[in-house]
Amino acid sequence: MFMDGGSGGLAGARSVALKAAGAVALVGLLGVITILPFGAAGDRFVASCPVGETGRADDPPADASTLQRQVAFAKIIDGVAVRRNLPGRATLVALMTALQESQLENIGYGDRDSVGLFQQRPSAGWGTVQQILDPTYAAEAFFGGPKPPSPPGLVEIEGWPSMSYTEAAQAVQVSAFPNAYARHERTARRIAELAGINLDRPGDPYGGQAVVTPGVPNGEESPAVLDECDESGGLISGRPVNGVWPPEEATISDPTGTGGMVTPRTAAWISSARTNLSNPAMSCWDPHLWNPTSDHPKGRACDVFVGGDGRRAPAVRAKGDRIANWTIQTAGTTGVKYLIWYGKIWSARTGTWKPYNGGGIYDPSNATGGHFDHVHVSLY
């Protein structure tokens, strides 16, 4: 699920005859579809093939038998969504994801140990190979909740309904090519039409979420879990972010005007932060001669300034909390590795905050050394 590649799909309008043929074949197919985990065979072009983010311009036409399987799997995925009262938007995100990852086929191979509709990896905690090759289980795992495995599913991505389809898919998949899902929307909608799926139906976007915040009615966005060691209650703890982020060289002039170079991933984060955080003051590249292990001279870190010592001004503290929370909530799509704020450090690997000791270089009691006056963000 972590690598990009082409996916088979539906292109162009389909004839009435093909729709009829698919409907007839579907009845028999659904009876055996879940016991045919190796639905694709031979040398196939799947999501694990590292061909670059743009890949194919659109899904190539699917033959009749492939289309029948895709429609059947679409029904299974939507069936899980309907049972959980998820909106049609959730089904659309899932279909676009499966088209990108496996051509909406229940394949028994992929990049490294990835298998199944969503190319979920046993080694990443998604379940056993046998479990993942069960389409119903795979769909439950993609949507998330208390029963599926530990990686966060769609319902555990706070704010996903307000994201674009591809951003929501990427938040779950954490792919090395985050924009690849967008090109499958048209095919996903056509398959949904053949399957009789209502992609416009309303529902609870967090249906079946593992943790329901008391006092937040179903169907409304619930806040992420608060960090228990944070006395102000302003920081969220987030969740572990699993993914593979290929190494990048610093090839782009630092947009914050330092005169240095940053990686494309860092430049993208800067642009997103400026848009979503009302253009905060920040500085990224820096030689940091006193700390050669820093990510700043590598073009992989930024300091976002909050306008003073957060220990002395509640408004400044709240501003830093907002910056940190947004950074955590979007880490799955931006490639944030860790951040430091207000005497603590958050890691994407663990998804939790820990006390920050200054790394043996900084005085953690100092406003700057303890990061009480700025939020440090490091990216992969």
Q: What is the pLDDT of residues 75-110, one digit of tens each?
A: 999 999 999 999 999 999 999 999 999 999 999 998
**What local confidence, expressed as pLDDT, does residue 358 receive?**
85
Position 210 confidence tier, pLDDT thresholds 50, 70, 90: low
The predicted model gives 122-150 an average pLDDT of 87
pLDDT digits (tens, 9 = 90+) for 159-181: 888 888 888 898 888 877 777 89
In this structure, are 184 and 298 located in the same domain?
Answer: no
In a domain, residue 50? The reply is yes
In this structure, are 257 and 191 located in the same domain?
Answer: no
The predicted model gives 310-329 an average pLDDT of 91
In this structure, are 190 and 272 located in the same domain?
Answer: no
Domain limit, last residue, from 195, 210, 228: 195
Instruction: Give me the count of residues in the chain.
Output: 380
In a domain, residue 333? The reply is yes
Expressed as residue numbers, the domain containing 62 is 16-195
Q: Would you report the helix, strand and coil content of the chain in percent, each value rounded to 5?
A: 35, 10, 55
**What local confidence, expressed as pLDDT, does residue 238 receive?**
66
Q: With H, G, I as helix, E, B as strand and everything else as coil, classify residue 337.
A: strand
In the chain, the number of structural domains is: 2
In this structure, are 184 and 262 located in the same domain?
Answer: no
In a domain, residue 212? The reply is no
**What local confidence, expressed as pLDDT, does residue 39 receive?**
34
Helix axes 135-143, 64-83, angle to 10 degrees: 50
In a domain, residue 123? The reply is yes
In this structure, are 271 and 180 located in the same domain?
Answer: no
Instruction: Show Cβ contacts of residue 135 under 8 Å, excluding neighbours closer than 6 positions.
Output: 33, 34, 73, 76, 77, 106, 116, 117
pLDDT digits (tens, 9 = 90+) for 21-66: 444 344 344 443 443 333 333 333 333 333 333 333 456 678 899 9
pLDDT at 240 over 90: no
Q: What is the per-residue DSSP string for 104-126?
A: S---S--STT-BTTTTB-GGGTS
In this structure, are 258 and 189 located in the same domain?
Answer: no
Give residue for tokens 């900084």: 362
In a domain, residue 245? The reply is no
Domain limit, last residue, from 195, 211, 230: 195
In this structure, are 31 and 126 located in the same domain?
Answer: yes
In a domain, residue 229? The reply is no
pLDDT at 221 over 80: no
**CB burial class (10 A; 0-12, 13-18, 19+) of residue 360?**
exposed
In this structure, are 172 and 270 located in the same domain?
Answer: no
In a domain, residue 32? The reply is yes
More confident residue, 38 or 315: 315
Instruction: Show Cβ contacts of residue 176 under 8 Å, excluding neighbours closer than 6 positions.
Output: 2, 3, 4, 50, 243, 244, 245, 246
In this structure, are 165 and 257 located in the same domain?
Answer: no
In this structure, are 268 and 354 located in the same domain?
Answer: yes
Domain limit, last residue, from 175, 195, 215: 195
pLDDT digits (tens, 9 = 90+) for 338-371: 999 999 999 988 888 889 888 778 888 899 999 9
**What local confidence, expressed as pLDDT, does residue 59 receive?**
65
In this structure, are 153 and 286 located in the same domain?
Answer: no
In this structure, are 293 and 184 located in the same domain?
Answer: no
- Model pTM greater than 0.85? no
pLDDT at 208 over 50: yes
The predicted model gives 199-227 an average pLDDT of 56
Q: What is the average pLDDT score of the chain? A: 79
Position 292 confidence tier, pLDDT thresholds 50, 70, 90: confident
In a domain, residue 244? The reply is no
